[in-house]
Structure 1
Amino acid sequence: MPPGLRRCCRPPTRGFRWRHLRTRSLCAALRHMERLNICSRKTLRHRHTPLISEESPVENAIGIIGVGSMGGALLGRWRAANIHVVAYDVTQAGRERASAHGVAVAANPAELAAQVDAVAVMVRTDAETLDAVLGDDGALAGLADGGLLLLHSTIAPSTTTQIVAAAQSRRIDVVDAPVVGVPAVVEAGRAVAIVGGSQQAFDRAAPLLKPCFRDAIHMGPTGAGNAAKIIKNLCTAAEALVLAEALRIGESWGIDYLDALAMMTTVDQYHFIDHWSTAFDANGYGSAPLRVPNLYDKDVPLARNIAHAAGISVPITEALADSAQQIVAATE
C-alpha cells in the first residue's frame, strides 16, 4: 500500500476527527491499488489524520464576536472545555447572553482581540464580517501579530481572502470554518465544521474546533470551506424548491400536497447523495453526472410535459429538463 494511505476511510475511533479530502495523487494511487486488487476505492474516499492528541497546544484564550444563537452555542462549548472566553456583540441581547455564561464582554472587537490569542467571528453577513475584522475598531486592530482568526459565518470566499490579505503581513493565521448544524446541534457538540485555509492554520485551529464539533473537514485552501458550505446549502435549498414545484404539479392534477408528501415519505426514496457513485464518476475524472436509465431521458421530461398540459409555470423543472437533455446528449 502506498505510504500515507489507510485501508479504511474511517478510523475505528469515536469523537472528533479531522479529514483531508482526496487529491489527484490519491485518486491515482487508488486506481493503482484497484489494479492490484488491494482494496476498494469506496473505502478510501477520504484520508484521515489521527485524532488530535491531548498534548496538542491550545490557545490560552479565545474571543467570540457575535453572540447570537450560534455564537452563544460555540461560547458555551468553549466554556465547558475550560477555555477562557471574551465576547462582543453589537446587540444588548447578545451581550446579556454572554454575561449569562459568566464571560467578560468587551466594548468593541479591537478591545476583545487585545485580550486573547484567537478570535472567532460568528456574524450573519459578509459586510458584518468585514466590519468586525477590518473596521476601525475591528479585531485586526487589537489582535497581536501571530494571532489566529476563525471565520465561522457562511460568507463568500472573496470575503475570507480579503481578510487573509490584510492579516498576512502580521503572520496572523486565518481559517474559514462555517458551521453545519443548528444551534441545538452545536450545543450538543454534534455539529460539523467545514474548513478552508493553509495546513498550518488548520492544524493550529484544530484544538479550538475540537470542543465544539464532532468533525472538522479540511476542504482545501483559503475560501474552500466557504465554498463547500455554500454548495452544501445550495443542495439543501434546491431540494426544498424542487419539492415545492413538484407539489404544484401534483396539485394541478388533483393531488393534495399533503397526500403527495405522505406518499413520498412512504415509498422507498432513493437519495443520490447516499449512493453518489451510481450518479457520478468515482474515479476522479470529472463531476459531470452519469446517465441514469429512464430518469433523465424520460421521467424529467415527463414532469415538464404534464406541467405544460396543466398550464402551470415550472421554471425549475424547465431548467432540469434542459440539463437532463444535455446529459443524455453527452452520454449517447
Structure 2
Amino acid sequence: MTTIGFIGLGIMGSPMSGHLVAAGHAVRGFDLNADSVAKLVAAGGTAAGGVADAVAGADVVITMLPDHPQVEDVVLGDGGVLELAAPGTLLVDMSTIRPETSVAVAEAAASKGIRVLDAPVSGGEAGARQASLSIMVGGEEADFAAARPLLDVVGKTVVHVGPHGAGQVVKAANQLMVGGIYALVAEAIVLLEASGVDAKAGLDVLAGGLAANRILDLKRETMIAREFAPGFRIDLHHKDMGIALAAARQADVALPVTGLIAQLIAAGRARGYGSLDHSALLKVIENLSGRA
C-alpha cells in the first residue's frame, strides 16, 4: 500500500483517485469543490483539509490541475507541495501544462530532494472512468519505475517518453492531432449531409478503411446526433492548443495546420461553445458553411 496525496479531484482526478483507492492504496484527497472530496470519501479515501494535509506523510503526491498557474501555486507557492513534502517524496504532476513549467518544477524540487515526473494523460473523462488512459511520462527512468505501479492502475498505455518536460511535449502533439481529426470528421459530416448522403452510412464506411481513427470509433454517432455533452471541453482544448503553439515556437518549427486548428477551436470558444465537448467543432464548421 502506498500513501498518496491527491490534489485536484475534478472530472479526471475524481475517477483516477477512486481507482487508486480500489487498488488498495491510502488516498488523501483535496479539492476546492467539497462535493468532489465527498465523492472520494464515499469511495473509501480520506478528505484532506488543504494542500498541507494532503501532502503530510504522503509517499507520492499526485496533482491533476487545470493549467500551469494552478500548478505553480499549489507546487511552487507558499505552503505548496515543495515547501511541505519530505525529501524523497515522489511528485507526479498529471496536469496538462507548458513543458517549461514542468522543467521549472523539477529543477526547484531537485534542491529539496523531491523527485518529480510530468505525466499528462489522454483519453478524457471516459478514459479516466475506465482506467484506460494513455499516460506520457517525462523525468528520470528510476522515478518512472517507482511510479509505474500506480500509473498502471489508472492507465492502459503508460510510456516513459524522455526527460522532464517531455511528457508535456508529447501531450501537446496529442492535442494538436486530436483537434485536427475532430475538424476533419466535422468537415466530412458537413460534406456528406450537404450532398444528400446519409452521414451515418458514410462514416461507417470510413471507419472501416484507411480513414479509421478513434474519434470516428467513439464520437461519430454523437456528432451526427449533435450531442456535445462534455467529455473534454473546448475551453480546455483551447488552452492546450496554446501550449502546442508555444512549444512549436520554443522548438523553432512551423506547424501551419496546428495554427489553423487552434483558430477553429478559438472560434468555437468565442461563439460560446467553450463548455461543450470538443466534438462541437462540428458547430464551427457548420457556421462557416452557413448550415448552422
TM-score, length-scaled by structure 1: 0.59
Separation of aligned partners in 2, 1:245 and 1:183: 25
CA distance in 2, matches of 1:238, 1:218: 25
% identical aligned pairs: 32
Alignment of 1:306-317 (within 5 A): none
Query: 2:82 corresponds to which letter in structure 1?
Result: L
Give the conservation status (yes or no) of the 8 Å contact 2:192–2:202: no
Q: Give the aligned partner of residue 255 of structure 1.
A: 195
> Deviations along 1:287-315, whole A, 9 cap, x unmatched?
xxxxxxxxxxxxxxxxxxxxxxxxx979x
Hey, what's the Cα distance between the residues in 2 that align with 1:194 and 1:164?
16
The corresponding residue for 1:269 is: 209
> Is there any run of 5+ residues in structure 2 with no aligned partner, and where?
215-286
Q: Distance in 2 between matches of 1:99 and 1:200?
A: 32
2:155 equivalent to 1:213: yes
1:207 Cα deviation from its structure 2 partner? 2.1
Amino acid at match of 1:200: A
Return the letter of the residue paired with 2:96. T
Q: Find the counterpart in structure 2 of residue 222 from structure 1.
A: 164
CA shift for structure 1 position 259? 2.8
Taking only aligned residues, the RMSD between alpha carbons, in angstroms, comes to 2.7
What secondary structure does 2:12 align onto? helix
Candidates 33, 40, 46, aligned match of 1:104: 46
Q: In the alignment, which residue of structure 2 is the partner of 1:153?
A: 95
In the other structure, the counterpart of 1:121 is 63
Deviating more after overlay: 63-72 vs 202-211: 202-211
| 1:271/1:217 CA distance change after superposition, 3 Å | farther
- Of the three residues 106, 124, 140, the one matched with 1:198 is 140
Of 217, 241, 246, the residue aligned with 2:183 is: 241
Within 1, Cα distance between the matches of 2:212 and 2:99? 27
Show CA shifts across 1:18-54 (max 9, x none).
xxxxxxxxxxxxxxxxxxxxxxxxxxxxxxxxxxxxx
Cα 1:215/1:92, change in 2 over 3 Å = same
Question: Is the contact between residue 65 and residue 120 of structure 1 (CA under 8 Å) also seen in structure 2?
Answer: yes
Structure 1 counterpart SS, 2:131: coil
Shift of 1:260: 4.4
In the alignment, structure 1 segments of 5+ residues that lack a partner are 1-57, 275-311, 315-332
State the shift of 1:262 in Å: 3.2
Q: Given that residues 193 and 216 in structure 1 are in contact (C-alpha distance below 8 angstroms), is that contact kept between their aligned partners in structure 2?
A: yes
Alignment partner of 1:170 out of 78, 94, 112: 112
Give the structure with the higher percent helix.
Answer: 2
TM-score (structure 2 length as normaliser): 0.67
Greater CA radius of gyration, 1 or 2?
1
Q: 1:250 to 1:182 in 2, by over 3 A?
A: closer
Distance 2:187 2:156 in 1: 35
Measure the CA separation in 2 of the matches of 1:89 and 1:220.
Answer: 30
Shift of 1:272: 8.3
Counterpart code for 1:189: A
